[in-house]
């Protein structure tokens, strides 16, 4: 079974296999993979207190996402707790309410043709997005780790990580997110102020890699600021 | 057996199931869950050196708690090491002495109608409760993570985390705790100075979520103070 | 077998059980326990790079210790890699060279009647023992965590943690250790400058608890110094 | 089988055993060991975001290395994902492209007669190599942990850790690495600026020990700088 499903997992644009006509196999495979991602992030303190949310595209045309339900411990997700939603956030499969921030996931999938969207709440992103809020973003430059971001070939790259004011009103916030993604077409992620990081990728592995890289870089920036001008 | 017991675990006010007339099943289920909580907290360095203590309500009227015995390694608790106590701290089940701070647990269950009470000793709470002791508490505001606290709907919430002077005299300390809980009816937790955090919840899951959130926020506050006014 | 041996493990002064006339059972039980301690300490970054060493008393009169051999990864110790030594550091059992610091273990067992001696190399103790070297020690006072040290009843306790200059000459160093232990009879541990922490206990569990408490307190002190006088 | 292969693993200069005439056994044994190293480093946040690379010598004359393929998650390496390369970086075994930095591994094996080369990207090395770049290196002195470096007998040792400007041009960079190794024949490792640490050893265990020691020392240096002149 896994062998048959494997090609589908690689490409959300592929036609459905006849052995998985209702997409259940793909849904469960993605949910299983996102559960594992959650476990790893929880161990790193990136999704404490039921924070964070994750999604992956079952298909992109029309948009169908496997997404975390709201209020669950992200370190102990079960595949059957995930929801399938359409682009109007209707729940097509599963029990529970999708994450409050579901609209942001849909916006990102649409704007970036993403196969997966991951959102973490680390201490580092909370500190940094508060410190730099007035500047509207953070410039990250000169680090080898930047090369792990999709399409980047050199550490001389300058990444602009936009900071968006936090809000509980998801419709207007999703429009700000959409505008921000259009304004910075090269950005690999963005921060919500004192809230956390959003990033994405062609598939779950790439999105996870982007989380690791951006979290690493934010920790590095804060720790370097701590040292100040000591040398 | 687990299926039969599950509904009881959800509600400490429910009448006892005929299959668990003496509460043994519920006691063991809560003790097992608290053991797992302890393991996770120990891995995060929140209950080193046998510090910390945990309880959950077997019933609330009358108050019966499953609670940690004193002096045990919180990362290696066995369910059979827990004690059952009544509201006068008499041991009804199990061998050993209940935690020195048992009276505080009873006070919290009474004042907040809590189903579980958790107490951690992290480095962050130790540092922060020392730094802010003279102010009597810490104000935490503007963080998305606050929304994970029970009943909070927005990051614009301002949480006051009271700091109570540490003491080895449990009877007077429990009266100060009771007064503090009455004075700050919206507080989700409190600190004992250079000692640690107390929080609670309707059940163990909620109390654990509150620990994760408040520990996250305290770490965030200290790390932000480290950076100072660098920007 | 474990049941028969258990009482011996509790008390290094007990006569040998007839079923363990040559002490092999006790030796292996202690070695197994110390291996587990090493695994936990390695995960916390307290014994990286084969640093650290551990011992426990098989008997105290005459002194016989189960002790780590030099140069091994402390996160992957096997019970059969431990050595048995006498008070002149002769190897009575096992292959390999005992830790260079074996003499310090013997001195501590003798001066404190300890059942176990543990030595860690954490970042926190390295930083702190360098910063305070000129003062000859660190005073730790007011922390609830101090109550976890053997015999301490209140956070108002003041613990003096002596700092001894580091040396590669073990015979003179062991005399300085002996003098220091005599000079500060109430001390629960000491630091070697930019080297690490020694502590001990009546048995392995107590020594491990002392490590956790002193490492916690040193991390707390450094983190509090980082914040400075910000409030 | 493992027993037969064990002697080969210890010595890359040994003639091939008749039972492993094409080196498959040795290749797989090294790949398996490097996979385990990767898992441990990933848990410590030293190789996030597919960063880092590892190699071990199958033979030294001619040079044949088992080396990581580019772009893989270093926490989930499978032995069959490793490549065998010769000293011109031709792939002799396995599918995939060898790490971009393969030339540096070959240079190090040649210059230092190393049996294993390990490269990590920690936050600490990134911060420190940026702060000290203008000085061309970092001097580390007085720490007991230095004694874990091969051939060092005392904490009074002064280790010079050269910092090489980062570059995406591997041919010229490998010549700078070669020159640096010749210029500092006593160095146990070097940093690429805002990129990470390279170290090596006679075998994988020694190289891993060197990583742990140098990462420990860099974390210690940054944390001590954080405290400043507080005492």
Give contacts of A153 with chain D, Cβ < 8 Å.
168
Interface test with A, best of D73, D127, D131 (most A CBs within 10 A): D127
- What is the arithmetic mean of pLDDT over C190-198? 98
Chain C residues within 8 A of B45 when measuring between CB atoms: 44, 216
Inter-chain touch A226–B227, beta carbons under 8 Å: yes
CA-wise closest residue to C49 among C121, C125, C97, C103: C121
pLDDT attached to residue D15: 56
pLDDT category, C9, cuts 50, 70, 90?
very low
In sequence order, which ranges of chain A are alpha helices (DSSP H)?
A: 2-10, 24-43, 102-112, 123-131, 170-183, 204-227
Of chain D, the end-to-end C-alpha distance in Å amounts to 59
pLDDT of amino acid B15: 55
Q: Answer yes or no: pTM beyond 0.90.
A: yes
Task: Please answer yes or no on whether D226 and C228 come within 8 Å at the CB atom.
Answer: no
The side-by-side arrangement of strands in the sheet containing C91-93 is C91-93, C83-86, C63-67, C53-60, C116-120, C196-201, C189-192, C158-164, C137-141
Closest Cβ–Cβ partner in A121, A124, A226 for B144: A121
pLDDT of amino acid B65: 97
> Are the Cβ atoms of B49 and C231 closer than 8 angstroms?
no
* CB < 8 Å to D226, chain A: 226-227
For residue B91, give how far its alpha carbon lies from the nearest alpha carbon of chain C (Å). 23
Question: What confidence score (pLDDT) does residue D3 get?
Answer: 36
Is B134 in the A-facing interface, judged by CB distances under 8 Å? no
Q: How far is A228 from chain D (nearest CA, A)?
A: 8
Q: Which residues partner with B199 through β-bridges?
A: B118, B189
Q: Is the pLDDT of residue D227 over 60?
A: yes
Distance in angstroms (rounded) separating the CA atoms of residues A176 and A170: 10
The answer on pLDDT for D99 being more than 50 is yes
Check whether A226 has a pLDDT greater than 70: yes
**Nearest-angstrom CA–CA distance, A14 and A127:** 41
Interchain contact A205–D (C-beta under 8 A): yes
Q: Is B206 on the interface with A (CB under 8 A)?
A: no
| Model pLDDT for residues D18-67, shown as the tens digit of each residue | 667 778 999 999 999 999 999 999 999 999 999 999 999 999 999 999 99
| Mean pLDDT to the nearest integer, A125-137 | 97
Indicate if ipTM > 0.90.
yes
At C55-81, the pLDDT tens digits run 999 999 999 999 999 999 999 999 999
Residues of D in contact with C226 (CB under 8 A): 226-227
Is pLDDT at D168 greater than 60 in this prediction?
Answer: yes
User: Residue A16 pLDDT more than 90?
Assistant: no
Structure tokens belonging to residue B199? 């929080």
State the Cα–Cα distance between residues B81 and B133, nearest whole angstrom.
Answer: 35
pLDDT band at D2 (very low <50, low <70, confident <90, very high): very low
Least CB–CB distance from B230: residue in A45, A194, A228: A228
Chain A residue with CA closest to B218: the answer is: A123
Q: In this predicted structure, what is the pLDDT of residue A7?
A: 38
Whether the per-residue pLDDT at C4 is higher than 60: the answer is no
Q: C191 contacts in D (CB within 8 Å)? A: none
Residue A46: cis peptide before it, omega within 30 degrees of 0: no
D-chain residues near A227 (CB < 8 A): 127, 131, 222, 225-226
Q: Is C134 on the interface with B (CB under 8 A)?
A: no
- The answer, yes or no, to whether residue C228 has pLDDT greater than 80, is no
Residue D118: pLDDT above 50?
yes
Asked if the C-beta of A126 comes within 8 angstroms of chain B's C-beta atoms, the answer is yes
d(CA C160, CA D100): 53
Cβ-defined contact of A145 to D49 (cutoff 8 Å): yes
Residues of B in contact with A195 (CB under 8 A): 143-144, 155
| C148 touching B (Cβ < 8 Å) | yes
In tens, the pLDDT along D186-220 reads 999 999 999 999 999 999 999 999 999 999 999 99
Count of CB pairs separated by less than 8 Å, A with B: 67
pLDDT at site A10? 43
| DSSP letter (8 states) at residue C217 | H
Average pLDDT, chain C: 92
Question: pLDDT per position in chain B (231 positions), as tens?
Answer: 333 334 344 456 555 566 677 789 999 999 999 999 999 999 999 999 999 999 999 999 999 999 999 999 999 999 999 999 999 999 999 999 998 899 999 999 999 999 999 999 999 999 999 999 999 999 999 999 999 999 999 999 999 999 999 999 999 999 999 999 999 999 999 999 999 999 999 999 999 999 999 999 999 999 999 887 655
> Where are the extended beta strands (E) located within chain C?
53-60, 63-67, 83-86, 91-93, 116-120, 137-141, 158-164, 189-192, 196-201
Q: What is the pLDDT of residue C12?
A: 63
User: Touching check for C121 and chain D: CB below 8 Å?
Assistant: yes
Indicate whether A8 pLDDT > 50: no
Q: pLDDT digit string (tens) for A66-112?
A: 999 999 999 999 999 999 999 999 999 999 999 889 999 999 999 99
Rounded CA gap, A191 and D35, in Å? Answer: 34
Nearest of D157, D159, D55 to residue D107 by alpha carbon:
D55
Helix (H, G, I), strand (E, B) or coil at B195: coil
């Amino acid at each position: 079974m896994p062998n048959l499903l494997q090609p589908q997992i690689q490409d959300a644009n592929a036609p459905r296999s006849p052995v998985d006509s209702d997409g259940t196999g793909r849904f469960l495979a993605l949910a299983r993979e996102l559960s594992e991602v959650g476990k790893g992030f929880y161990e790193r303190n990136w999704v404490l207190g039921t924070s964070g949310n994750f999604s992956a595209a079952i298909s992109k045309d029309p948009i169908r996402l496997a997404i975390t339900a709201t209020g669950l411990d992200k370190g102990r997700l079960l595949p059957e707790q995930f929801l399938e939603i359409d682009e109007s956030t209707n729940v097509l499969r599963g029990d529970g309410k999708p994450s409050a921030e579901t609209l942001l996931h849909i916006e990102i999938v649409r704007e970036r043709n993403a196969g997966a969207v991951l959102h973490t709440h680390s201490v580092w992103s909370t500190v940094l997005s508060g410190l730099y809020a007035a500047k509207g973003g953070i410039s990250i430059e000169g680090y080898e780790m930047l090369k792990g971001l999709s399409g980047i070939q050199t550490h001389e790259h300058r990444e602009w990580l936009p900071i968006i004011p936090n809000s509980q009103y998801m419709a207007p916030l999703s429009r700000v997110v959409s505008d921000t993604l259009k304004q910075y077409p090269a950005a690999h992620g963005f921060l919500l102020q004192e809230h956390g990081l959003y990033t994405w990728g062609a598939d779950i592995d790439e999105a996870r890699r982007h989380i690791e890289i951006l979290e690493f870089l934010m920790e590095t920036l804060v720790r370097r600021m701590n040292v100040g001008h000591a040398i």
